Amino acid sequence: RRGRRHRASRSCPHVSPMRFAGPCRDPRPSSRPCHRPAPRSHDELPQRPIPPDQRAVREFAEAVFQPSVSLGTIVALERQTCAALAGAHDQARDAVRAAPVKSTDETGWKRDGSRCWLGIAATASVAFFVVHVQRGKPGRKALLGEVVCGVVISDRWSAYHGLPLDQRQIGWAHRKRDFQKCVERGGVGRMVGQSSLAVVEDVFTLRRDFRQRRIKRVSLQEQLETPAEELRESLVRRSG
């Protein structure tokens, strides 16, 4: 087996030479074949996402399309693509920032080996992405602009604390966690949490029906008025 791998390493670029310091029971050769046929359909394409790395892009292109692509070519194509999409990117930014309601979120990102943050602001029809070195207020301003318009649906990240209450809404998943904590604390808060969790489940059921196209958006908006009013009455009644 060692001899076969040594001979294969001279003819196949995907098999590297191996040196054994002592006996080895099962030195397995590389599972990557020397010849990788191009996929015959979309179903044969790799299902995992491609990381934002030029070497990974080159490997993907060679595996799928079988061209010999240099890293310089990939970098040049990236620049051309960015320039071609610059106008559309600006339009998406302006549309999202001017929207009456938008949802936001952030996640870690790598740029040139340095840790950054990928922010997203989305409406029902447009999504705007921006990469920034900070997750705090500078990152929020890069995403939503100096002056925030409309209502922002977000988590409890401190960068959004400066927004007026009438311009900020906490996502329902975060509200559900808050109500569950009320139940776990017991006392009067337990009843508030239980009734509120029931309302949350109604909201999630309507959302699921909408995503599965059982109801239309207009019907969704109309039916959401009932659980919203129930939640408002429950909180006012328990607080009084």
The identity of residue 217, as a single letter, is R
DSSP annotation string for 184-231: HH-THHHHHHHHHHHHHHHHHHHHHHHHTTSS-HHHHHHHHHHHHHHH
Distances in whole angstroms, Cα of residue 152 to Cα of each of 103, 135, 229: 6, 16, 21
Residue 178 has pLDDT above 50, yes or no: yes
Specify the higher pLDDT residue, 44 or 169: 169
Beta bridge partners of 120: 105, 129
Mean pLDDT, the chain, rounded, equals 80
Pseudo-torsion of CA 49, 53, 57, 58, nearest 10°?
A: -150
Average pLDDT over residues 78-82: 89
Residue 19: its pLDDT value, please?
A: 43
Quote the tokens at residue 148. Answer: 């925030």
Residue 100: its pLDDT value, please?
A: 96
Average pLDDT over residues 168-174: 90
The identity of residue 146, as a single letter, is E
Give SS3 for 72.
helix
Residue 52: its pLDDT value, please?
A: 54
Residue 211: its pLDDT value, please?
A: 92
Other beta carbons less than 10 A from residue 164's beta carbon: 8
> Where residue 70 falls among pLDDT bands split at 50, 70, 90?
confident
d(CA 137, CA 173): 23
Residue 32 has pLDDT above 50, yes or no: no
Residue 239: its pLDDT value, please?
A: 67
d(CA 73, CA 42): 25
Residue 88 has pLDDT above 50, yes or no: yes
Average pLDDT over residues 99-111: 92
Residue 212: its pLDDT value, please?
A: 94
Quote the tokens at residue 32. Answer: 């990557």
Digit-coded pLDDT (tens) for 194-217? 989 999 999 999 999 999 999 999
Average pLDDT over residues 221-228: 91
Residue 36 has pLDDT above 70, yes or no: no
Quote the tokens at residue 77. Answer: 């194509």
d(CA 42, CA 80): 26
**Best CA proximity match to 64, nearest among 50, 81, 44:** 44
Other beta carbons less than 10 A from residue 235's beta carbon: 14
Residue 220 has pLDDT above 70, yes or no: yes
> Residues, the chain, total?
240
Q: What is the pTM of this model?
A: 0.64
